[in-house]
Amino acid sequence: MKEAHNIYKSKKLVKISLEYDEDSKIINSITITGDFFLYPEETLDELEVNLIGTKLGKDEIKQKIEKCLNDSEAFGFDSESLTDAILGCLKEN
Amino acid sequence: MKERKKKNERETMSFKFSKIRTLETGYNSGPWNMALDEVLMNCINYHSMPILRIYGWRPPTVSIGYFQSMDEEVDIKRCRQMGFDVVRRITGGGAVLHESELTFSFITNVYPKNIMESYNLICDPVVICINKLGFNSKFVPLNDIIVDGKKVSGNAQTRKKGILLQHGTILLNVNLEKMFSVLKVPSEKVKDKMIDDAKERVMGLNKPFDEVAYNLKESFSDKFGAEIVVDNLTTKEEECTKKLTEEKYTSDKWNLKR
């Protein structure tokens, strides 16, 4: 398992802490923090749980995010920038 | 765009309340302040009038947004040394040092469903208040009020079970050196730059708390055509707040959640 972190400046600051399998690039755990707004707030917990087991690929991640954020409203990031924030962890390492 | 703006104005103007329950709860600790906001949100029901709460913080408190990491954002050890409280809010947004400011909460079960519109609606009386004090302020979406390009009020909202809570600050004085001494920054060099940048972006009104409080009550009354009903906390509200302070807002489980 490999740990990675990324700080991404979208309209707000989005910080990602990630643990993933280096060979398969599958997410083992993820924490998303920052000064953004998300309504309802519980969506973020659901998103973090749903991202576990997802491959770190643009399409896979973005699809999961879009599905989770479908009934919510985010201010400070969108599915595109959050995907970039997560995948940015790979560049950091 | 123009049409949409007009529609927003029409919708936000149409919200009227006959009465607003007004609570001036004085200066209290960070955990107690956040517990009371949650209790008031839970106590309001379909028949209740909206609540305007006006308050301050003693000791000074660093609050962080619901989604922030306490460990990443706040120098907890330094806060303890300085006698400051730390607490996580139930609302999003950034870390704030609450010291020389007036804080208000507005809790209502009648509000625009559109989030931007609801911020606009509740920030409007705050803009009116600041302008009554002699400034030329304006609302800047999503959640700020500025004077001469500088932020004088930040706001954050949550909605739970059909109840909206918005709490906001009205900055009276700003001590950015102190603020950045309790927030974690990448390096000392960056800290100086952040302080300089923030000085360009934030300002206090330099008005007494009571004068701002008086004008804020008047402005909410004007905006919503409402009678201000000055009230005290009920025994039940006080008891619930004490319990929630002890069980949630002083706990690591909540404050260090992320």
Say if strands B96-98 and B101-108 run parallel, antiparallel, or are unpaired: unpaired
The verdict on a CB contact (< 8 Å) between A41 and B92 is: yes
Task: Compute the distance between CA of residue B208 and CA of residue B231 in angstroms, rounded to an integer.
Answer: 22
Q: Provide the pLDDT confidence category of residue B5 given band limits of 50, 70 and 90.
A: low
- Closest by CA to A32, choosing from A68, A70, A60, is A68
pLDDT of residue B2: 52
Task: Compute the distance between CA of residue B110 and CA of residue B16 in angstroms, rounded to an integer.
Answer: 9
Residue B258: inside a domain: no
The verdict on a CB contact (< 8 Å) between A41 and B68 is: no
Q: Which residues of B125-142 are buried (b: 16+ CB within 10 A; e: fewer)?
A: bbbbbbebbebebebeeb
Residue in the block written with tokens 């039940």: B236
DSSP string, B182-219: HB--S-HHHHHHHHHHHHHHB------HHHHHHHHHHH
Residue B16: inside a domain: yes
Output A43-49 pairs: Cβ under 8 A, ≥24 positions apart. A43/A68, A43/A69, A43/A71, A43/A72, A44/B67
Task: Compute the distance between CA of residue B28 and CA of residue B85 in angstroms, rounded to an integer.
Answer: 10
Does position B1 have pLDDT exceeding 50, yes or no?
no
Q: Which of B92, B157, B160 comes nearest A36 by C-beta?
A: B92
Residue B71: inside a domain: yes
Which pLDDT tens digit goes with each residue over B105-138? 999 999 999 999 999 999 999 999 999 999 999 9
Q: Provide the pLDDT confidence category of residue A44 given band limits of 50, 70 and 90.
A: very high
Q: How far is A3 from chain B (nearest CA, A)?
A: 16
For residues B67 and A35, the answer to whether their CB atoms sit within 8 Å is yes
Does position B228 have pLDDT exceeding 80, yes or no?
yes
Please give the DSSP secondary-structure letter assigned to residue B16.
-
Residue of B38, B67, B119, B157 to mutate for A, most A C-beta atoms under 10 A: B67
Beta bridge partners of A8: A14
Residue B256: inside a domain: no
Residue of B144, B166, B258 to mutate for A, most A C-beta atoms under 10 A: B258
Domain that includes residue B80, residue range? 2-251
For the record, the structure tokens of B183 come out as: 């927030």
Q: How far is A40 from chain B (nearest CA, A)?
A: 7
Residue B69: inside a domain: yes
DSSP string, A22-57: TTT-BEEEEEEEES-EEESTTHHHHHHHHHTT-BS-
The verdict on a CB contact (< 8 Å) between B67 and A34 is: yes
Task: Compute the distance between CA of residue B91 and CA of residue B83 in angstroms, rounded to an integer.
Answer: 24
How many interface pairs between A and B have CB atoms less than 8 angstroms apart?
49
- Give me the mean pLDDT over the A75-83 stretch: 95
Task: Compute the distance between CA of residue B22 and CA of residue B227 in angstroms, rounded to an integer.
Answer: 10
- Closest by CA to B151, choosing from B96, B189, B114, is B96
For the record, the structure tokens of B247 come out as: 């069980």
Percent pLDDT > 90 in chain B is: 83
Residue B201: inside a domain: yes
- Which amino acid is present at B126? V
More confident residue, B6 or B232: B232
- Which amino acid is present at A56? L
Say if strands B85-88 and B61-64 run parallel, antiparallel, or are unpaired: parallel
More confident residue, B55 or B199: B55
Which pLDDT tens digit goes with each residue over A62-77? 999 999 999 999 999 9
How many distinct structural domains can be found in chain B? Answer: 1
For the record, the structure tokens of B139 come out as: 């609302």
- Give me the mean pLDDT over the B191-220 stretch: 94
pLDDT of residue B138: 97
Task: Compute the distance between CA of residue B180 and CA of residue B182 in angstroms, rounded to an integer.
Answer: 5
For the record, the structure tokens of A53 come out as: 């087991």
In this prediction, the answer to ipTM > 0.95 reads no
Chain A's closest residue to B95, CA to CA, is: A35
Task: Compute the distance between CA of residue B255 and CA of residue B258 in angstroms, rounded to an integer.
Answer: 8
Domain ranges in chain A are: 2-92
CATH for B126: 3.30.930.10
Percent pLDDT > 70 in chain B is: 95
**Is 3.30.390.50 the CATH number for A2-92?**
yes
